[in-house]
Amino acid sequence: MAAKIAIAMSGGVDSSVAAWLLKDAGHEVVGLFLRHGFDSEKEPACRDTAVRRRGCCSADDATDARRVAAMLDIPFYAVDFHDAFEQLAAYFVDEYAAGRTPNPCIVCNTRLKFGKLFDYAQSIGAQYIATGHHARLVTQRNGATALCRGEDPEKDQSYVLFGIPRHRIARLRFPIGDFRKEQIRAVAADLGLRVAEKPDSQELCFVSKERRLEFVRSRRGGAGSAGNLVTTDGVVVGRHDGIERFTVGQRKGLRVALGEPFFVVRIEPETNQVVLGRIEELARDTLTAGAANWLVDPPEHSWRCEVKIRYRSRAEPATVVPLGADRFEVHFDQPRYGVAPGQAAVCYTGEQVLGGGWIE
């Protein structure tokens, strides 16, 4: 049945085609753009034109989204979320300061797109909120709505959606989840949308990869995090200028020659030490995760599933052991490499997302 649906429009091809699909299906569609407010003199990272083209939520993206909305003849509003993005940036900086590897896209989806934006959509009378994520919503035999992988395995974004509150799943729409990327671009081209060949965003919305260190350091008020590079047996092999430069599993950019490949095995924020080791020392067969969010009723006892530890990694077979209501352990069948505190451990059974938590 036709419904009023608010769609988050980023100015990219995915959300643009998603908006068209909804309108073509007969829904009353309202376009919403999340304005982060970082295009200012105090945040020089967002003034680089090339960077803005790789990111999202810039003034250029707002213009693209507005043009698409006008072409589709749907209402369009740019919503000021600067305060919420400031909190997101604070989380990002604090995680690096704690020696963890943040995942702001998951936090943005949970707190902003399917949190504050959801509330805003309700305030304008929208029954549903939609995005251009590559994920699918499947109605099960019992009538419940399951979050599942997108049709395109190369673009699937179900991993970054695990934190959506379960009670809101049925109120969401992911119109492009059943399409592959090349199909989306073909639809956009047929419609004459200027964004048909626009590159996918590859940067955080509020800071580019090139400016990440500058961004973190400027917001830490000059607090230093330089320290030693040490091997797992305690030998000091060099110095580094900040732990925010590193993540567990990293090989490139260590700036130290050891005659063979070494990787970041551990980051110790108490001493600012970055611990390096060989590939076998990076292997982990167990992890603990907290702040869990479940999209199904989790079993009270251990269960079998597949667990994904990074957006670009594969979900691997494992046994999950509950540690109370919001924490769990994962025991992998085979060791995993690059298990990084601050990233998410997301549980799947086949195509369905069961839920997940933050790696401790």
What amino acid positions are annotated as catalytic residues? 108, 205
Q: Write the DSSP string, 250-304.
A: --TT-----SS--EEEEEETTTTEEEEE-HHHHEEEEEEEEEEEESS---SS-EE
Q: What is the C-alpha to C-alpha distance for residues 18 and 117, in angstroms, rounded to an integer? A: 17
Element (H, E) at 14: helix 13-24
What single letter denotes the amino acid at residue 319?
A: T
Cβ(287)–Cβ(345) below 8 Å: yes
CA distances to 255, 302, 335, 336 from 286, in Å? 30, 14, 8, 9
The residue among 203, 250, 185 whose CA lies nearest residue 104 is 203
Q: What is the C-alpha to C-alpha distance for residues 172 and 7, in angstroms, rounded to an integer? A: 10
Q: What is the C-alpha to C-alpha distance for residues 317 and 37, in angstroms, rounded to an integer? A: 42
